[in-house]
Structure 1
Amino acid sequence: MTIRRAERSDRARLVQIWEHSVRATHDFLGEADIAELLPQVRDVYLDAVEVWVYEDADAVAGFIGLAGAQVEMLFLDPLLRGRGIGTRLLDHARALHGALTVDVNEQNPQAHGFYRRYGFVDTGRSETDAQGRHFPLIHMAFLPQ
């Protein structure tokens, strides 16, 4: 198991993980939403954040994207969920930044529950996402003891 900075050669795998994960967990998104978001993730969002990948047996199994202490994205290969990969990526982010924040889609109760189990607490709510779409967000924070 290795956590390392993402490289340009990881891009296709990161986009694949993002798409497979979104299809498995974001039931509120339709095909048109995914088709609209995919090129943005590939061409904009992955370049806008510091991306760390979890690699196991020379294969990328998940990644976390950080903008400072804000977790902007955390996606895992859906076939590998439940193996502690997300927790290890958050542990890595905490080692880098200490306190962390994240915005979670309200319609994604699995992610909200995951962050709450990790120790994040709800700090607020927005009716729309950052692009103004009606996908409410729950704002969360993890503050080290």
Structure 2
Amino acid sequence: MDHRIDYIDKFEYKEVVNVWEASVRATHHFLKEEDIAYFKPLILNTYLDAVELRCYRDENYKINGFVGVIDGSLEMLFIHPTHIGKRIGKTLLEYAINSLNVNKVDVNEQNQQAVGFYKHCGFETIGRSELDPSGKPYPILHMELIK
């Protein structure tokens, strides 16, 4: 199969947001409906343009997951729930570490699946914030890659 990591064009942002929303609904059970509604337009109109984006495409060129990086920090890593557990996240993270110089990530403390994933991949918690960057009451763990 021809799976590959690729750039994302602006015209694909709606597809990327669909992957984000499906992933969040499957993994971020602590979020309220109004939180998803709050973040969705921000992702589409602001956040995607602020990061260096890469995606994982399947053999039909469909986006199965994506990463967004700023200055060595992994800002986004979302996998469509039908593709979770197929090493797509690991593939994207390894690409981000090796090609985009990622060495840190902030992750929702309540998303224990993600926390465990990053720990398994060599990240350690170096700090914690009580609120997320939007000021919402979702604690954030600051993790750094320990080599």
In the superposition, the TM-score normalised over structure 1's length comes to: 0.95
Q: 1:26 aligns with which of 28, 34, 45?
A: 28
Q: 1:91 aligns with which of 71, 94, 113?
A: 94
1:99 CA drift (Å): 5.0
Partner of 1:126: 129
Going from structure 1 to structure 2, the CA distance change for 1:30 and 1:3 (only over 3 Å counts) comes to: same
Q: Give the Cα separation in 2 of the matches to 1:143 and 1:95.
A: 14
Q: Secondary structure at the match of 2:136?
A: coil
Runs of 5+ unmatched residues, structure 2: none
Q: Give the Cα separation in 1 of the matches to 2:85 and 2:102.
A: 24
Going from structure 1 to structure 2, the CA distance change for 1:99 and 1:75 (only over 3 Å counts) comes to: closer
Retained in 1: the 8 A contact 2:65–2:89? yes
Retained in 2: the 8 A contact 1:99–1:143? no
| Percent identity between the two aligned chains | 43
How do 1:1-145 residues align onto structure 2 when only pairs under 5 Å count? 1-57=3-59, 58-98=61-101, 100-144=103-147
Q: Give the Cα separation in 2 of the matches to 1:97 and 1:48.
A: 15
In the superposition, the TM-score normalised over structure 2's length comes to: 0.94
Give the total of aligned pairs. 144
Q: Give the Cα separation in 1 of the matches to 2:145 and 2:58.
A: 27
Runs of 5+ unmatched residues, structure 1: none
Q: Secondary structure at the match of 2:133?
A: coil
What do residues 43-84 of structure 1 show as CA deviations (whole Å, max 9, x unaligned)? 111111011010111111000000021000000010000010
- Counterpart of 1:56 in structure 2: which amino acid? D
